A and B are shown apart, each in its own frame.
Chain A
Amino acid sequence: MLGIIRQKVGSAGFPASIVGQALQRVRPTAFASRNYSTAAKEMTVRDALNSALDEEMSADPKVFLMGEEVGEYQGAYKISKGLLEKYGPERVLDTPITEAGFAGIGVGAAYYGLRPVVEFMTFNFSMQAIDHIINSAAKSNYMSAGQLSVPIVFRGPNGAAAGVGAQHSQCYAAWYGSCPGLKVLAPYSSEDARGLLKAAIRDPDPVVFLENELLYGESFPVSAEALDSSFVLPIGKAKIEREGKDVTITAFSKMVGYALKAADILAKEGISAEIINLRSIRPLDRSTINASVWKTNRLVTVEEGFPQHGVGAEICMSVIEESFGYLDAPVERIAGADVPMPYAANLERMAVPQVEDIVRAAKRACYRSVPMAAAA
């Protein structure tokens, strides 16, 4: 801990968070990788998102939801179940099929002072609206010199589902993460989903909120604190899901679950992996990642998206910039295959990182096996 505090801290605002992180580490880490609180209540990610939307809409009449199928159909993935009935068609709008249209309308409403939550059926469809997300939402506060603020949230499932093919499986974390003016969040657990969505809705800047279809049905324990309607998680702060001392593994969204399983397997072989749930792609919590690398000296980044210009590439560069002297091994990057997602189940499985890939990468980083380059 002393080592961490002694290190050069990038800029203002971080020392407090480092202490906060340190305090978090003092909490007992349970054996099942997900139990980080003493609560008994479990909640699916779907219910977590639904309750977050419900509470924010109830607290602030300016918040409204807009998207395809969000109203009468109760949401394409049932995330907005019950909201139309509770808040009426003025606040839960079923839109015609025009992503560009309703993204633009959402931005216009935000310009004028409402707080829209715009749902894309999947972020693949957000490409039809990407001009509005980038040019109308992300850049407006800057271009108008602070006169046009855009407190909008774009949310929806991101990344691969199961057997949905190339046009429904791309991960957009890297694309949106590269754009200044946007904040990009990627929750994993129900607590993440609740806290981050509430924070996103309350945030005055445009937020891209990347969910995951396969996580919607998964249950996680939630603490009483997380169930409170004033619960928010800070944007820009990663979470150490599991402490370790031998290798740092960063992941976000579904890959956090995979990384945790990989950590179990590695533990049996005597490698203690520290799993960081990024939670926030932009701003990236560089200090938590770097502090972890100072401790473990090895890094593996995991993501589902395409490898080139991915989130892992940015993390790797951040670590090289701040912690080069601490690395004992080259940074290992696990990403999806550099191909449009195939449909056949066996091919799809090979195009997305699996737990075994993470285990092998961690071992390579720990010099327990031959590096990939040397094997080529």
Chain B
Amino acid sequence: MAVWFTRSGNVARHLKRNMGFLGKLNHSFLGFHQRNSSLVSPIDESYRNAVVVLNNAMALFSVRCSESTLAEAQRDSRYDEHENQILDFPGGQVTFTSEMRFISESPEKRTKCYQVLDDNGRPILGTSFQPLSKEFAVRMYSNMVTLQTMDTIFYEAQRQGRISFYVTSNGEEAINIASAAALTFDDVVLPQYREPGVLLWRGFTLQEFANQCFGNKGDNGKGRQMPIHYGSKKLNYFTVSSTIATQLPQAVGAAYSLKMDSKDACVITYFGDGGTSEGDFHAALNFAAVMGAPVIFICRNNGWAISTPTSEQFRSDGIVVRGQAYGVRSIRVDGNDALAVYTAVQTAREMAISEHRPILIEALTYRVGHHSTSDDSTKYRPVDEIEHWRMARDPVTRFRKWVEWNGWWSDEDESELRSSARKQILHAIQVAEKVEKPPLSDLFTDVYDHLPSNLLEQERLLRETIKRHPQDYPPEVPM
């Protein structure tokens, strides 16, 4: 625990560091505003009163969503029960205050994190969560183990040179599987790239994963993309796109479409802590709130954006506090606690669909693996920190303990599952390696809905050239 906080920066320590500068600012303010008899320094008190000020303001701030912004007749100013003046401004009523008080840049206490199971997999006393049947819980656990095993073996395959690239989701198995389990297959998924578990849950086979990574004929992406850029229209999982956070406004658009169709479904979209710095994050949350789009935004705050720690990514209290800034209901959840994630996502889904609103879920976790196979994270973070999170805070182990505690799992089941998963994945890789590559015609299709004549022409010319100079072309590309 201590290791984690030291490395990632303590919010309170940030505050204390800056106080000296702000203290100096106070004096100049006091000099100017002498007519104010109650000289409460605007900054000193703010740490204690920040929450109070915010709450007061929010209580009196009436939000009118669908009013026209046409000018209204100036109303006489009125007064509330504390003799504070109320005035209408565009956007709603605001109470005035004679005290100049700045809202603190950080709260005194960080937003609390919803957790169901403790580190030993026992439900915390007094906690509420969605109960699971044995079958469902075992299914969740099996998927988590399969995901973990798949990641390990594919990573090794990349290191052996059998595939060119891979991205693991080590440490985020609970977020992947539990969030997927809380949804229906009608809910549309727009992933970033660290959520293959959602596909796995929905039935994407190990062979299909392998086919995409090898870019062979069996890939339903026709070998067009790098490994891990899975997509399946059938399973309502939009194809992974490398660009960061572009899926966020797209998710809002798709959710709007669902809303117009009045479907009993929502959109779920995933992104990391780094992705929240993109302009698309801002636009998406803002828009979703304005449009009332039924979309669940899940931020996998795993502490690292390649080598950038969250302390260098943003200065806010994580991502959850940003929700309210956009008018989006939000919650912070222990991302390594499968039951907490499951319960939160399920509740979020109901809210999103029935109330036509977006929900923001910040799932705190840790990126145990490297960013990708092109990264060596030991270069920018300590090995003991990684090991701590890999062993002591493993979400798979934690959920296993809960499942075992319920009497639903045993050591034999465990070893059988792990060896079976391993065997299946190895087999899938062996098969995928031998499958033919996609045919040449797949180079030219799908640029447009219909193959245009210029591309037909190019294909014809290419075939002619290959026929005339076969030695210059790779033999394993089927014509």
Let me know if B283 is at the binding interface, CB within 8 A. yes
Q: From B66, which residue of chain A is reached at the shortest CB distance?
A: A89
Q: From B225, which residue of chain A is reached at the shortest CB distance?
A: A143
Contact with B along A79-114 (1 / 0, CB 8 A): 000000000001001011010111111111111111
Closest CB of chain A to B342's CB: distance in Å? Answer: 25
Contact of A132 among B219, B249, B256, B453 (CB under 8 A): B249
Let me know if A44 is at the binding interface, CB within 8 A. no
| Given A112-B188, A147-B239: A105 touches B250 (CB 8 Å cut-off) | yes
**Contact between chains at B253 and A109 (CB < 8 Å):** yes
Residues of chain A lying within 8 A (CB to CB) of residue B57: none
Closest CB of chain B to A153's CB: distance in Å? Answer: 14
Contacting chain B: which of A10-18, A340-348, A362-370? A10-18
Closest CB of chain B to A286's CB: distance in Å? Answer: 8
Contact with A along B255-289 (1 / 0, CB 8 A): 11110100000000000000000011011101100
**Contact between chains at A102 and B239 (CB < 8 Å):** no
| Given A105-B249, A114-B257, A136-B246: A141 touches B448 (CB 8 Å cut-off) | yes
Contact with B along A101-140 (1 / 0, CB 8 A): 1111111111111101000000000000001100110001
**Contact between chains at A143 and B221 (CB < 8 Å):** yes
**Contact between chains at B241 and A11 (CB < 8 Å):** no
Let me know if B252 is at the binding interface, CB within 8 A. yes
How far apart are the CA atoms of A163 and B43 in the complex, in Å? 49
**Contact between chains at B233 and A148 (CB < 8 Å):** yes
How far apart are the CA atoms of A102 and B293 in the complex, in Å? 13
| Given A14-B453, A183-B448: A112 touches B258 (CB 8 Å cut-off) | yes
Closest CB of chain B to A148's CB: distance in Å? Answer: 6
**Contact between chains at B221 and A135 (CB < 8 Å):** no
**Contact between chains at A102 and B283 (CB < 8 Å):** yes
Contacting chain A: which of B191-199, B343-351, B420-428, B454-462? B454-462
How far apart are the CA atoms of A329 and B185 in the complex, in Å? 64
Let me know if A181 is at the binding interface, CB within 8 A. yes
How far apart are the CA atoms of A93 and B291 in the complex, in Å? 9
| Given A93-B291, A205-B448: A108 touches B453 (CB 8 Å cut-off) | no
**Contact between chains at A105 and B287 (CB < 8 Å):** yes
Residues of chain A lying within 8 A (CB to CB) of residue B243: 131, 135-136
Let me know if B447 is at the binding interface, CB within 8 A. yes
| Given A11-B460, A102-B249: A109 touches B287 (CB 8 Å cut-off) | no
User: Which residues of B from 206 to 223 have beta carbons under 8 Å from A?
Assistant: 219-222
Residues of chain A lying within 8 A (CB to CB) of residue B232: 147
| Given A136-B243, A141-B449: A105 touches B220 (CB 8 Å cut-off) | no
**Contact between chains at A181 and B246 (CB < 8 Å):** no
Let me know if A234 is at the binding interface, CB within 8 A. no
Q: From B68, which residue of chain A is reached at the shortest CB distance?
A: A72
User: Which residues of A from 1 to 55 have beta carbons under 8 Å from B?
Assistant: 10-14
**Contact between chains at A143 and B286 (CB < 8 Å):** no
| Given A108-B250, A144-B221: A11 touches B453 (CB 8 Å cut-off) | yes
How far apart are the CA atoms of A135 and B246 in the complex, in Å? 9
Let me know if A339 is at the binding interface, CB within 8 A. no
**Contact between chains at B233 and A109 (CB < 8 Å):** no
**Contact between chains at A104 and B239 (CB < 8 Å):** no
**Contact between chains at A13 and B448 (CB < 8 Å):** no
Contact of B447 among A72, A102, A142, A147 (CB under 8 A): A142
Q: From A204, which residue of chain B is reached at the shortest CB distance?
A: B449
Closest CB of chain B to A291's CB: distance in Å? Answer: 15
Q: From A105, which residue of chain B is reached at the shortest CB distance?
A: B253
**Contact between chains at B449 and A111 (CB < 8 Å):** no
Residues of chain B lying within 8 A (CB to CB) of residue A116: 253
Q: From A103, which residue of chain B is reached at the shortest CB distance?
A: B249
Let me know if A371 is at the binding interface, CB within 8 A. no
Contact of A140 among B68, B239, B254, B258 (CB under 8 A): B239
Residues of chain A lying within 8 A (CB to CB) of residue B280: 100-101, 104
Closest CB of chain B to A69's CB: distance in Å? Answer: 12
Closest CB of chain A to B458's CB: distance in Å? Answer: 9
Closest CB of chain A to B307's CB: distance in Å? Answer: 23
| Given A14-B453, A143-B241: A111 touches B446 (CB 8 Å cut-off) | no
Residues of chain B lying within 8 A (CB to CB) of residue A147: 220, 231-233, 239
How far apart are the CA atoms of A96 and B252 in the complex, in Å? 14
**Contact between chains at B241 and A135 (CB < 8 Å):** yes
Let me know if A272 is at the binding interface, CB within 8 A. no
| Given A112-B258, A148-B238: A283 touches B249 (CB 8 Å cut-off) | no
Let me know if A217 is at the binding interface, CB within 8 A. no
How far apart are the CA atoms of A183 and B224 in the complex, in Å? 21
How far apart are the CA atoms of A133 and B464 in the complex, in Å? 34
How far apart are the CA atoms of A86 and B310 in the complex, in Å? 48
How far apart are the CA atoms of A102 and B68 in the complex, in Å? 21
| Given A105-B287, A108-B253: A132 touches B224 (CB 8 Å cut-off) | no
Let me know if B116 is at the binding interface, CB within 8 A. no
Residues of chain A lying within 8 A (CB to CB) of residue B219: 145
**Contact between chains at A141 and B250 (CB < 8 Å):** no
User: Which of the listed residues A145, A183, A205 has the most CB atoms from chain B within 10 Å of its own CB?
Assistant: A145
**Contact between chains at A142 and B446 (CB < 8 Å):** yes
How far apart are the CA atoms of A203 and B452 in the complex, in Å? 13
Contact of A100 among B222, B249, B291, B445 (CB under 8 A): B249
Let me know if A146 is at the binding interface, CB within 8 A. yes
**Contact between chains at A13 and B253 (CB < 8 Å):** no
Let me know if B393 is at the binding interface, CB within 8 A. no
How far apart are the CA atoms of A205 and B257 in the complex, in Å? 18
Contact of A111 among B253, B447, B460 (CB under 8 A): B253
Let me know if A149 is at the binding interface, CB within 8 A. yes
**Contact between chains at A100 and B447 (CB < 8 Å):** no
Residues of chain B lying within 8 A (CB to CB) of residue A13: 453
**Contact between chains at B287 and A146 (CB < 8 Å):** no
Contact of B256 among A98, A100, A109 (CB under 8 A): A109
How far apart are the CA atoms of A14 and B449 in the complex, in Å? 19
How far apart are the CA atoms of A90 and B460 in the complex, in Å? 47
Contact of B246 among A90, A96, A104, A110 (CB under 8 A): A104
Contact with B along A158-192 (1 / 0, CB 8 A): 00000000000000000000001101000000000
Let me know if B53 is at the binding interface, CB within 8 A. no
How far apart are the CA atoms of A86 and B239 in the complex, in Å? 36
How far apart are the CA atoms of A61 and B279 in the complex, in Å? 31
**Contact between chains at B253 and A110 (CB < 8 Å):** yes
Closest CB of chain A to B235's CB: distance in Å? Answer: 11
User: Which of the listed residues A14, A116, A146 has the most CB atoms from chain B within 10 Å of its own CB?
Assistant: A146
How far apart are the CA atoms of A21 and B447 in the complex, in Å? 27
Residues of chain B lying within 8 A (CB to CB) of residue A95: 287
- 29 cross-chain CB contacts under 8 A: A10-B457, A11-B454, A96-B286, A100-B280, A101-B249, A102-B249, A102-B287, A105-B250, A107-B253, A108-B252, A108-B253, A110-B253, A113-B257, A136-B243, A140-B241, A142-B224, A143-B221, A143-B241, A144-B233, A144-B238, A145-B220, A146-B446, A147-B220, A147-B233, A148-B238, A181-B447, A183-B448, A205-B448, A283-B454
Of all A-B residue pairs in the complex, the 8 with the closest CB atoms, nearest first, are A101-B283, A108-B253, A104-B249, A108-B250, A109-B253, A105-B253, A144-B239, A145-B222
Known interface pairs A108-B251, A145-B222; 8 further A-B residue pairs with C-beta atoms within 8 A, sorted by A's residue number? A98-B279, A102-B249, A108-B250, A109-B257, A132-B246, A136-B246, A141-B447, A141-B448
